[in-house]
Structure 1
Amino acid sequence: MIRIEKTLYILLVFSFFSQLTQAQETITPKLIWAVNKVDLGTILEEQGPQVAEFEFTHTQDSLFYIETVVTDCGCTTVEYTKDTLQVGETGRLQVSFDPSSGAGFFSRMIVVKGNLQGVQDTLYIEGNAIPRASDPTLAYPTRKGDLGFRLAKVNVGEVFTNEPKLKQVEVYNFGETPFYRDSLEFLSPEYIQVSQLTDSIMPNDRGLLQVYYDGAMKADLGYFEDQVSLNWKDSTTFIQLDVLADVFEYYAPFAKDDLNLVPQLVIDPKEKDLRTIKASEIQVENVVLNNRGRQVLEIKKVQGNCECLRLELPKTSLDPGESILLKVVFDPKGRQGIDQRNIYIFSNDPLNPVQLFLLKSRVE
């Protein structure tokens, strides 16, 4: 009986390794793509079709060629290398997108199938298509000199310190003088730059500006509003842009096993309702900030959403297990009715680098 069991065991082991060897032999490495997603950015309808290019390298032993390319939308057309490639040779695939096919954000998928087993890769293009406005006066209500804007301020949105953020802004020329890219000058903080993407913005036509925001160079965290001055040398137009941004520290992903090793900020309470208060009475509240991690917690910034708040911390570094009190002083003078104050705590807690404390009240 024992000999039979040993024999079966040996046969099972042999069968397992035979299947593993066959599986390893049948696995075919895919093509190596330089990128698998291209962001075309903001596209104006009148700019016409835009082209995204993908480059790949053939790394397999056998001869390779692309059999078919399938897209998920009739708004895209594809051209690609039809030659048969040797190992180490490169090929290209170009995807043309027609912005007149729709409006707003788009994400299109392209599936590439090769002649060799296991070669079926997926590529993506994305961007924001903006159709031509039927009534520019209504579409661009904010006028700055001869230029019309859809919104009064440029909101860059969330900016992380690991890479700069780009924001494209659509403008319309209501004047009689063209705006040329080479003549644009700007005056701004060092962490903000402005460029003109279109070669020219002709009269009764529109174009694109681009705002570049470097969160690392800003060297601060939280919500900010900056002013940028723009001037075109061959034009009398001089305008001011208000640029809004929320700057956050970037923390790289970490292993789940390290969760208890990193700094951990715990706020208690996370919300306080003062109920009914008088506008003439200053309110004082204390909020406990605790470090439940095993590394030193650094409070990098505490920011309120109103000048009516005064925020005081006794220190900004907390050892593991240490607690401190954040003193919140709220002056409701000049306010009436339901009120909510937001207080943001920025720290080096990589899991929750920004946390919120809410102070609610009804002011009489």
Structure 2
Amino acid sequence: MIRLEKSLYTLLFLCFFSQLTQAQETITPKLIWAVNKVDLGTILEEQGPQVAEFEFTHTQDSLFYIETVVTDCGCTTVEYTKDTLVVGETGILKVSFDPSSGAGFFSRMIVVKGNLQDVQDTLYIEGNAIPRASDPVGTYRTRKGDLGFRLEKINVGEVFTNVPKLKQVEVFNFGKTPFYKDSLTYVGPEYIQVKQLTDSIMPNDRGLLQVAYNGAMKNDLGYFEDQVSLTWQDSTGFIALSVLADIFEYYAPFSKDDLKQVPQLVIDPKEIDLKTIKNSAIQEKEVLLTNKGREPLEIKKIQGNCTCLKLEIPKTTLDPGESIYLKVTFDPKGRQGIDQRNIYIFSNDPLNPVQLFLLKSRVE
């Protein structure tokens, strides 16, 4: 009986080992996609279907062809290379999106299945679809010359120093003269560029402008409001625009082994409540800034959200283990009621490059 059990065990082990060896020897065919997600940006309904193109390369020895492509929405249609590919050959898959299918942000999934085992890849398209405005006057309330904007200012949001931030803005032409793309002239700082995306903006129709904000070229950190001007050759006068941005330093990901080596800014305390104060009494407080990392810490900028704040530090570079005091002076003159001041500290701490300190009070 014992001998029989040993024989069965040996047989099962050999079968398992044989299957494991075969599995290890099997090479799973794969496609290499140039990109697996395409951002179509802002799409106006009247622009019609927009096309995202995906290119792939077949890398295995076996012959390959696409069997089926499935999408998660009837708003998309797909065309793709139907040829059989050998190793090294490339193919194209085009996804057309109809912006009239819905309004707002969209993210659509496309599943590609090939004839070879385990070839089932997922692609994505995304963007922002904007339907036609039934009431242009009420929708584009901010008038700048003949152009109507939804908002008074253009907010590009967070801008990191590693790549320019793009913001697309829709405009409506209330005038009688078309705005042509090739006649646009931009005047403003070089770190901001504005161009017209649509070839023309006809009277009583919409178009798209694109604002590109280069944080590295700006060479500063924090919140900013810049003024730019646009003019078209056949139109009269300049159109002045305000561009808002929050600029942050970009830090590349790093390994856990480097976690204890990088600079580390610690703020103590991170909040001070002044309680009830008189609006005639200037307040002075100190906040301790410490570098608990193992590399020098650089305080790149300290920015408050009010001219009522004066912020002073004795130095901007802290050695490992070193501490300094940030002197905060708050003048509550002209203020009343519950008040909160935000103080942002920018440093080369890659885990927390921007930290917030709060100064609260109730002003009488």
TM-score range, shorter chain: over 0.9
| Residue 165 of structure 2 is aligned to residue 165 of structure 1 | yes
Separation in 2, partners of 1:140, 1:25: 63
CA RMSD of aligned residues (A): 2.0
Residues 66-92 of structure 1: CA deviation (Å, up to 9, x unaligned): 000000011000011111111111111
Residue number in structure 1 paired with 2:334 = 334
Partner of 2:332, secondary structure, is coil
In the TM superposition, what are the counterparts of 1:99-248 in structure 2 within 5 Å? 99-248=99-248
Distance 1:146 1:240 in 2: 12
Residue-by-residue CA offset, 1:50-71 (whole Å, 9 max, x unaligned): 0000010111111110000000
Q: Deviations over 1:11-60 (max 9, x none)?
A: 99977764543222223131011111000000000000000000101111
Measured in 1, the distance between the counterparts of 2:102 and 2:29 equals 37
SS in 2 for 1:228: strand
CA distance in 1, matches of 2:9, 2:160: 57
Task: Decide whether the 8 Å contact of 1:146 with 1:237 is kept in 2.
Answer: no
Residues 281 and 9 of structure 1: CA distance in aligned 2, closer, same or farther (over 3 Å): farther
- Pair 1:132–1:288, CA change in 2 (3 A): same
Runs of 4+ in 1 over 6 A off after TM superposition: 7-17
> SS in structure 2 opposite 1:182?
helix
Counterparts in 2 of 1:61 and 1:276: CA distance versus 1, 3 Å = same
> Partner residue of 1:80?
80
Q: 1:12 to 1:183 in 2, by over 3 A?
A: same
1 CA distance for matches of 2:270 and 2:8? 63
CA contact 1:161–1:248 (8 Å) conserved in 2: yes
Q: Give the letter for the 1:276 counterpart.
A: T
- Paired with 2:82 and 2:70, the residues of 1 have a C-alpha distance of 15
Q: Structure 2 vs 1, CA of residues 145 and 320 (structure 1 numbering), >3 Å: closer, same or farther? A: same
Counterparts of 1:247-326 in structure 2 under 5 Å? 247-326=247-326
Note the 1:47-58 alignment, pairs <5 A: 47-58=47-58
Please tell me the residue identity of whatever aligns with 1:105. Answer: F
What amino acid is aligned across from residue 69 of structure 1 in structure 2?
V
For the residue of structure 2 that corresponds to 1:315, the secondary structure is: coil
CA distance, structure 2, for counterparts of residue 79 and residue 268 of structure 1 = 59
Superimposed CA distance per residue, residues 154-206 of structure 1 (whole angstroms, 9 cap, x where no aligned partner): 00000000000000000000000000000000111110000000000000001
TM-score scaled to structure 2, two decimals? 0.96
Size of the aligned set, in residue pairs, is 362
Match of 1:4 in 2: none
Q: TM-score, normalised by structure 1?
A: 0.96
Q: Percent identity?
A: 85
Offset at residue 145 of structure 1 (A): 0.4
Question: What CA distance in whole angstroms lies between the structure 2 residues aligned with 1:166 and 1:355?
Answer: 25
Larger mean Cα displacement after TM superposition, 280-289 or 21-30: 21-30
Q: What does residue 4 of structure 2 align with?
A: none
For the residues of structure 2 that align with 1:276 and 1:201, how far apart are their CA atoms? Answer: 56
C-alpha separation in 1, matches of 2:304 and 2:14: 68
**Is the partner of 2:24 in helix, strand or coil?**
helix
Q: Could you give the per-residue CA deviations for residues 318-353 of structure 1, whole angstroms, max 9, x where no partner exists?
A: 011111000000000010000000000000000000
Taking a change above 3 Å as real, the CA distance of residues 310 and 121 of structure 1, as seen in their structure-2 partners, is same
Question: Could you tell me which amino acid in structure 1 is paired with residue 39 of structure 2?
Answer: D
Say whether the 8 Å CA contact 2:29–2:117 is kept in structure 1: no
The 8 Å contact of residues 27 and 118 in structure 1, kept in 2 or not, is answered as no
The alignment partner of 1:22 has SS state of: helix
CA distance in 1, matches of 2:237, 2:38: 35
In structure 1, what is the equivalent of residue 34 of structure 2?
Answer: 34
Q: Which runs of 5+ in 1 are unaligned?
A: 1-6
**Is the partner of 1:250 in helix, strand or coil?**
coil
**How far apart are residue 259 of structure 1 and its match?**
1.2
CA–CA distance in structure 1, aligned partners of residues 13 and 356 of structure 2: 57
CA distance in 2, matches of 1:239, 1:105: 29
